[in-house]
Each structure stands twice: as structure tokens, then as C-alpha cells.
Amino acid sequence: MVDFSTTYLGIPLKNPLVVAASSLSSRVDSVKQAEEAGAGALVIRSLFEEQIQFDALRMENALNVAGDGFAEAQSYFPKVEHGGPKEHLMWVEKTRKAVKMPVFASLNAVSPGAWTNYARQLVDTGVDGLEVNFYAVATDPTRPGSDLERALFDVVESVRAEVKVPFAVKLSPFYTSIVNIVSEIEKRGANGVVLFNRFLQPNIDPDTESLYSQMTYSQPDEIKAPLRWIAILYGRTKLDLALSTGVHSGKDAIKGLLAGATVVQMAATLLKNGPHYLSTMLIQMQGWMEEHSYSRVSEFRGNVSQKNCDDPFAFERAQYVRLLLDQK
């Protein structure tokens, strides 16, 4: 029998499989099914800054541009009239009460502001911790990247000042110096970092010369970007590392742990296969651990991180030169 137990953000989990923030948490029966299938923890979908600021007009415009071709796209960008902050807080409280596993609430942020006191209101629902999902599409040519990074740090500081519970910061992959960002977040009191969020990207239909938005699920190959950064960060930060994007099977979860992830998060695969798929993933992980004679996750976590692997420079190699030379 293998021991999957893990501590994430100081909270004991029975295993490192975390249900990522997504529409899966929109239904109590799905959340209960995830718990029954063995989920280690669950992140409830985000309370969006726009919801809090009642920026209904901009939100409505965004939704009109996004279109409504895919039901779950709507749940990622919930309509203001259907999802004000009060309704969201009630929902979080109901979800918290429905299950015993650790539950995290998620707060989306694009700028610092008084609205971050919603972090405390989310905590008052009884959740075990928070995830701060920070992302904005930067379009102002006068605003440098350093300014946006400062906004992220200010949000982290204000959330830390607001709550005592542990929280992780969920980052986009679009930073020039990820290791520096993580180190700055750590200095400001966060407990973990989630790498990476994956966003809805609008597309263009050349036939109708118009914009459309179709939510496409991640592919397993997309794990490579978070895998690289988790592997580089392992041993360089005290923050817990959560891998998000591209975990579709038990083997993918193992890859994340080998890179150094404390936990792995799944959205796409659970939305496609249903929450019960978590039990299949746990069986696959157990099979791999037995085959490799491991009885605990801590025995192999970080074994293929940059600091522990045979070829540390492989994680820093970004160009194809070596591959091209090897092929000659």
C-alpha cells in the first residue's frame, strides 16, 4: 500500500491531486463525487474582481465579444447579474459545508484596491485557504511591465494583511522573469504559487470576418511549460509549488511530482472524464510507485528537478540548436 499524504500550504492532504478552479465546482454533486473519487482538495472557481466592482457594463461587453458558443466559457466569465459577490460567498459557504476535504476559495485580481477585503469575507465562509488568481490583458502602451508586476505585489501584500489563512498565487505564464516574481511573492507572505493559469483566447473566423471564442481544453503536451518552471523553482523557493495545465493522467501527475510539485491541479481532464476519473488517476499513480518501489510521495518528489537531474542545463535550453546539431 502506498502513502500519498502531502502537506500543501501547511494543510495535510490525503494525496496531491487537487481539483483546479473551474466549473466543476459549480455543482455540489460534482464536488461530492470528486471527494468520493479521492480528491486531495478542491479550489472553488474564482470570485472575479469585476464581479466585486460591479463593472457590469465592461463585463457585459466582454461577454458579448466572447460570445456564448460554449457553456463553460460562460462559467469562466460569469454574468454579473447571475453572480454578484454575495451569491458567490453563499456558494462558497455551501460548498465548504458539503464536503470534508480541504477547500480553497479563489479570488481573481487585476489591480490593488479596497475590494481585496473580499479575501477576508471568503475566509469567513470557513474555507481552509485562498488562491489569488492574478491576470489582466495589458493594452496600455504607457504602462511598463514593471508597473504591472508592482500591482501584483501590492495585491499579494494587501491579501496578506487581510487574512491569516494560507494562500497561493496563481500566475499566468506571461512573465519575463518567473523566478524573480516567485521570489518577490514569497517575500510578501504568500505560501504557495500555482503555475500556470490558462486563459480563454479569442479567435478570428476568416469566413465571417468576425471574432469568436471557443473554449478548448488543454492537451497533455501543454504540461511542458509548467513542468520546466516547477523543476527550475524546486529548491530555490520555500513556497509550495502547484502545477496546473496539462495534467490528464496519473502519469502526468507523477511527472509534476518528479519535477518538484507539491500538488498537481486538474480542470480539463475532470471536466471531460468526470470527477470519478480521480480514482483512475490514483490507481495509475499507485501502479507507477509500486513499479518503482516507492512507498511515499516524498521519496521521489523533485527527483527530476533542475537541481537533482542528470542534465540541469536541459531546463534552461530554449533553442533548438543542440537538437539540430545532434541530428546531423
Ligand X SMILES: Cc1cc2nc3c(=O)[nH]c(=O)nc-3n(C[C@H](O)[C@H](O)[C@H](O)COP(=O)(O)O)c2cc1C
- In the complex, the residues that contact ligand X under the rule CB under 6 A are 20-23, 45-46, 72, 75-76, 106, 133, 170, 197-198, 218, 244-247, 266-268, 271
Side chain identity at residue 327, one-letter code = Q
Burial per residue of 229-262, b for 16 or more beta-carbon CB atoms within 10 angstroms, e otherwise: bbbbbbeebebbbbbbbbbbbbebbbbbbbbbbb
Choose between 2 and 220: whose C-beta lies nearer to ligand X: 220
Alpha carbon distance 5, 21 (integer Å):
21
CB of 133 to ligand X, least distance (A): 4
Residue nearer to ligand X on the CB measure, 2 or 28: 28
Judge contact between 253 and 7, C-beta under 8 A. no
> CB of 158: closest distance to ligand X in angstroms?
18
Cβ at position 253, least distance to ligand X in Å: 11
Residue nearer to ligand X on the CB measure, 109 or 232? 109
- Supply the minimum distance, in Å, between the C-beta of residue 304 and ligand X: 20
CB 119 within 8 Å of CB 107: yes
Report in angstroms how near the CB of residue 194 gets to ligand X at its nearest: 7
Q: Considering beta carbons, is residue 158 or 244 the nearer one to ligand X?
A: 244
Could you tell me if 244 and 226 are in contact, meaning their C-beta atoms sit under 8 angstroms apart? Answer: yes
Please say which residue, 151 or 243, places its beta carbon nearer to ligand X.
Answer: 243
Distance CA 17, CA 254 (A): 10
Backbone angles phi, psi at 7, to 5 degrees: -110, 125
